[in-house]
Each structure stands twice: as C-alpha cells, then as structure tokens.
Homo-oligomer: A and B are copies of this chain.
Amino acid sequence: MLDERKLKVLYAIINSYIISAEPIGSRTLSKHYDLGVSSATIRNEMSDLEELGLLNKPHSSAGRIPSDKAYRLYVDSLLKLDNFILDEKKKQQIKNILVSESQEVDHLLQTSAKVLSEITNYTALAVSPHLKSSKIKHIQLLSIDENKVLLVLVNNSDIVKSTIFNLDKSITNNQLNTISNFLNSKLKGLSFEQLNNLIGPDILYDLYEYKDILEKLIPIINKSLDDSEYVELYSEGITRLLNYPEYKDLDKAKSILSFIEDKDLVLEMLMDDALCNEIDIVIGTENNYAQLKNSSIVTATYSIGGKTIGKIGVIGPTRMDYYKLINTLKLFSINISEILEKLFGK
C-alpha cells in the first residue's frame, strides 16, 4: 500500500513543507526533488496519499500539506532509525555553556531552557526534578525567632526545601536539635513517597518528652513533605512562536501563548506518564489539549543514576524540523544528566 515511491513523495513533501510552510504541488515537487517521474505521476501518487489520510489540501487548487498522521509516520521512522551519532563537538559546546550555570539546579534548568530555545528557535520548557522518588538526606529544625521554627529538608539531589512556621510555644534550639537528630535517624534514606504516612502518631512514643511539640510539628512536616512534590516549570522563548506563519493569526497566537503561560496546565501536560521515553513526540491533534491541536511538543528526559527525574522539551508548530530537534534534545538530555550526576550523583 505504501510502496517506496509513495514514501519518497511523502517525505519530499514533508521536508519541503517543514522548510517553506507552503503547500507544495506536483510540478514544484518534480522540479526540486529528483524523483525520476513526471509531475503527472506524482499527482497520482499524491492523490493516493491523500486518500490514505497522509496529505491534506487547503483548497482544491492548492498544493498538499502533510497531515498529523504523515508526521507521525515520518517521526516514527526517524526514531526507529537509531542512526543517532552523538555530535561530540556540539555536545561539548552546549555543555560548556551549561556548566558555567550549573551551581544550582534551578539555574541550570533555566539556562538550559534558554539555550535550547535559542538553538531550536522554538519555545523551550524544562521541569525541575521531582522529589517524589528522591530520598531524604537531611531534616533539620532551627529556631530562628521566639516562636518561629525553620524546617529544612534536603533530598539526595541536594535540593533544599525550607518552610517557616509559627509555634505558639517557645522552644529552644537544643530541643529542636534533639528532635532533628531523632527524625534524621528515623527517616534518612527513605523516599519522600514512603515518608508520607510514616510520620504518624507512633513517633510520639519514641520521643514522649516532646509530645506537645511533636503533635504540632507532625502535621506541618507532613504538609511540607507534600509540598515537596511540587515541581518548577521554566519556559523560555515564548515570543519566538510569533515568528511562525502558523501563528500569524492573532487568535491562534493567543490560544497557544495563553496555554504556555498557564504553568499548571503545561505541567499537567508534561507530567503525563506517557512522556517517559528518552524522546517523546506528540503531534497536533494527538495532544489532549484543544489549544495544541496545531502544535507539537517534543520532550526528552534527564536522569540521575539512570532514574528519570525531570523533563525538557520544546513546543512549536506541527511543522517542525523533527530530525534536528530530536538530536538537539538528546544532547541536552545527556548534558543535563551528566552535569547533575557530577553534582549530586553517588
């Protein structure tokens, strides 16, 4: 059904459309791509491809444009190709930029998004590491004011979360230290997930002398642990999208930009469990979000110790240079993972 020639025609159309964003006709195609057949033959093939749902016509006398289904075919073949050769030089270039910003995770991700957006000319997104599966390394309570206590949590990726809360009772640093030490001995090494229900009433018996205080503390610690599941989203280069003809219509631009501006929504989309592979691509209407029906997202994961802890990706029109994008994202994925590994890995 899809013989080689049809594929050749289809890919030629896709490649041409990715560059020009213009519907492409049989004559132009036969002129610019050496397909060895005349425009009439191509016309017939195109007609077949349209019947297969791989091409669309904006109107009866216009050229054809690839459908989402066509991009899917194309992209799957790209991903299957596996002829990915790491461009060491490019990788190093990117790494050099990122390393200089890698003192802190948030900075690293922000810069990654910025650079990724610059390189690809699309909007770049980065999700900070999620703590869900990370392990607790240190818990510390500090008295910083008469009734105010600072709770500091450090996970095994050295991400720090601090919360200040009021205690309607004064407490000394020594007391807090005792509690901290106890909590540390009990909880260190456990994952945040496991922790959730662990700090329960039973702990009271072990530290009975601090019963009063612990009863106040426990819910606060639990809440703080809950909050730790919170991930940060970094987006960069939003306005770059306005350069693409597919968003020249103000309503389309508004639709996509306000989607990207809604961090909760974007996070919900990115945290979808389906996006868990080294590279994931969601094309046009494959998206569950109406606002993205003319856009694609390409995501990559980054990891520490082989464990995926965050994502980075781009968003843009369905007409994207997927090939370049896949390669670029792989470079970022590897680089970020390597940098984090060096900073926090065992």
Binding site for B on A (CB under 8 A): 104, 137-138, 140, 142, 144-145, 148, 150, 152, 154, 158, 160, 162-164, 236-239, 242-243, 248, 250, 253-254, 257-258, 261
Contact = CB atoms under 8 A, between A and B. Distances in A.
Contact of A261 (B137, B145, B238, B248): B238
Contacts of A148: 158
A250 B138 CA distance: 51
Given A239-B258, A254-B242, A257-B242, A152 B158 contact: no
A242 B238 contact: no
Contact of A257 (B137, B144, B238, B250): B238
11 contacts: A104-B163, A138-B142, A140-B142, A144-B158, A150-B160, A238-B257, A238-B261, A239-B254, A239-B261, A250-B250, A253-B253
A239 B150 CA distance: 38
Mostly helix, strand, loop or mixed at chain A's interface?
mixed
A254 B253 CA distance: 11
Nearest to A158: B164
A160 B154 contact: no
A156 B248 CA distance: 49
Contacts of A163: 104
Contacts of A238: 238, 257, 261
Nearest to A152: B152
A128 to B, nearest CB: 14
Given A138-B142, A138-B144, A261-B238, A152 B154 contact: no
